[in-house]
Amino acid sequence: MTAPVLSVEALSVAFRTEHGDLTALDRIDLAVSPGEVVGLVGESGSGKSVTGLALMGLIDAPGRISGGAIRFEGRDLVGLPERDLRSLRGTRLAMIFQDPMTTLNPVLRVDTQMVEAIHAHERVSAAAARARAREALVRVGIPAPDERLRAYPHQLSGGMRQRIAIAIALLHRPALLIADEPTTALDVTIQAQILAEAQTLCAEMGTALVWITHDLAVVAGLADRICVMYAGRIVEEGPVAAVIEAPMHPYTAGLIGSSPSRNARGAPLTQIPGLAPSLGRRPPGCAFAPRCPSATPDCAEPPPVAALPGRTALCRHPLHGEVRA
Binding stretches for another protein (CB under 8 A): 43-44, 141, 157, 159-160, 187-197, 199, 214-218, 220-224, 240-242, 244-245, 254-263, 265-266, 268-273, 275-276
Residue with smaller CB distance to another protein, 45 or 52: 45
Do the strands 208-213 and 37-41 form a parallel or antiparallel pair, or are they unpaired?
Answer: parallel
In the chain the beta strands, taken as DSSP E runs, fall at 6-17, 20-32, 37-41, 63-72, 75-76, 93-96, 176-180, 208-213, 225-230, 233-239, 305-308, 311-314, 322-323
Residue with smaller CB distance to another protein, 12 or 184: 184
Residue with smaller CB distance to another protein, 41 or 117: 41
Residue with smaller CB distance to another protein, 2 or 44: 44
Min CB(260)–another protein separation in Å = 4
Residue with smaller CB distance to another protein, 88 or 170: 170
Rounded distance between C-alpha atoms, residue 98 and residue 101, angstroms: 9
Min CB(118)–another protein separation in Å = 27
Residue with smaller CB distance to another protein, 63 or 250: 250
Min CB(216)–another protein separation in Å = 6
Min CB(6)–another protein separation in Å = 20
Cis peptide before 62 (omega within 30 of 0): yes
What three-state secondary structure class fits 48?
helix
What three-state secondary structure class fits 137?
helix
Bridge partners (DSSP) of residue 76 are 71
Min CB(78)–another protein separation in Å = 30
CB 113 within 8 A of CB 171: no
Residue 85, amino acid: L
Rounded distance between C-alpha atoms, residue 286 and residue 265, angstroms: 33
CB 175 within 8 A of CB 34: yes
Task: Indicate if the alpha-carbon torsion angle 33, 34, 35, 38 is positive or negative.
Answer: positive
Instruction: Assign residue 172 a region (left: φ > 0; alpha: ψ between -120 and 50; beta: otherwise).
Output: alpha
Min CB(69)–another protein separation in Å = 30
Min CB(230)–another protein separation in Å = 10
Residue with smaller CB distance to another protein, 66 or 191: 191
